Amino acid sequence: MTNIKQSNNHGKGRSCVITRRACFSASHRYWLPELSTLENSEQFGLCSTSPGHGHNYELIVSMNGGLNANGMVLNLSEVKHAIAQEVTSQLDFRLLNDTWPEFDVSKPQGCLPTTEALVVIIWKRLMCYLPLVGIRLYEQPALWADYLGNEMETFLTIRTHFAAAHRLAREELSLEENKSIYGKCARPNGHGHNYLVDITIRGSINKRTGMICDLANLQELVNELIVERFDHTFLNKDIDYFETCVPTAENIALHISDLLTEPIKDLGANLHKIRLQESPNNAAEVYPEEPKLGILA
């Protein structure tokens, strides 16, 4: 295949990030031969069941470069061909465990075809052909992985939701003063939202399991500490933290971050980002880690 990483830059130093979306359907099974049937079941749950289960994967490839004389970073037909030849044609309607040698767990260096492991291997297969800056792979709408080319370190995001009511008001202020700050949100009887929460963790992939941490444990942790605690509550009155803290989207996101940071660290990963979407128009993001790690969009 022709290497299409280079493009003539006639954009006077202007660069641009472009993305290309591709889809494929595939199945996978979480099963390690060194574990017994019971041990595989205990570690991977229903994902260990034979012959496996399937997903409709969505792949987002981000590329960076200068503009050429045609006003393009790359020829999108060539980008499409590279992704199809190196990735989707090899994975579509297949059992991932039987596709690429990296997933041959009969060998000591093989790992399970998790979303985290898959996004890293896709990067390695495309990096010779495309000027990659990031790859995102959705296993399902509520679970996806990101890879930015940093060795085996990957980002994994799970999405959950809860319904809750709140009132935005400071107790020391009058109703009129609160209305001047918070608008309709200061009305005495409060109002509700269906909150969406994205929890992004960062970590190195286990070379055998292909996981940053145990996904089932992560989901259980989030359900116990966040969903069960916040769902169908009036935040101001039912959550002790918000008795003295105005439950804005920003403060809720910060509180969720505080609740999850250490428990996620105990799982062997780092909490990278909390994104709380209050409505289609409003969202807040919190990055618990050092600023030097940057922002993952």
H and E: helices and strands count for the chain: 9, 10
Model confidence, pTM: 0.90
- Domain 1-149 classified CATH 3.30.479.10? yes
Report pLDDT for 11. 52
Q: Per the structure block, which two tokens stand in for 208?
A: 């055998």
Those residues whose C-beta lies under 8 Å from the C-beta of residue 205, and which sit 6 or more positions away, are 111, 114, 116, 117, 120, 152, 153, 154, 211, 212
Please tell me if the domain spanning 1-149 has the same topology as the one spanning 152-290. Answer: yes
Instruction: Please say whether the beta carbons of 256 and 226 come within 8 A.
Output: yes
Across the strands, what pairs with 23?
58
User: Within a 13 Å sphere around the CA of 133, how many CA atoms are in the beta-carbon half?
Assistant: 12
Active site annotation includes 185: yes
* Options 55, 81, 185, 245, the catalytic residue: 185
Which has the closest alpha carbon to 127: 67, 205, 64? 64
79: CB partners within 8 A, 6+ apart: 4, 20, 61, 63, 130
For the domain spanning 152-290, the CATH number is: 3.30.479.10
pLDDT in tens, the chain (297 residues): 556 555 444 455 578 999 999 999 999 999 999 999 999 999 999 999 999 999 999 999 999 999 988 888 999 999 999 999 999 999 999 999 999 999 999 999 999 999 999 999 999 999 999 999 999 999 999 999 999 998 878 999 999 999 999 999 999 999 999 999 999 999 999 999 999 999 999 999 999 999 999 999 999 999 999 999 999 999 999 999 999 999 999 999 999 999 999 999 999 999 999 999 999 999 999 999 865 444 454
Q: Domain map of the chain by residue range?
A: 1-149, 152-290
Whether residue 16 contacts residue 68, with contact meaning beta carbons closer than 8 Å, is answered with no
Grouping H, G, I as helix, E, B as strand and the rest as coil, residue 7 is coil
Selected catalytic residue, list 86, 102, 139, 278: 278
Phi, psi of 242 (to 5 degrees): -90, 10
d(CA 197, CA 142): 10
What's the token pair of residue 17? 């990030």
> Which pLDDT score is estimated for 150?
87
- Token pair of 187 as six digits: 């009305």
pLDDT score for 251: 97
Please give the radius of gyration of the chain, using alpha carbons only, rounded to the nearest integer. Answer: 22
CA-to-CA distance for 39 and 257, rounded, in angstroms? 32
Tokens of 171: 């107790």
> Quick check: is 232 catalytic?
yes
Selecting among 232, 245, 272, 290, the annotated active-site residue is 232
Q: What span, in angstroms and rounded, lies between the C-alpha atoms of 50 and 33? A: 13
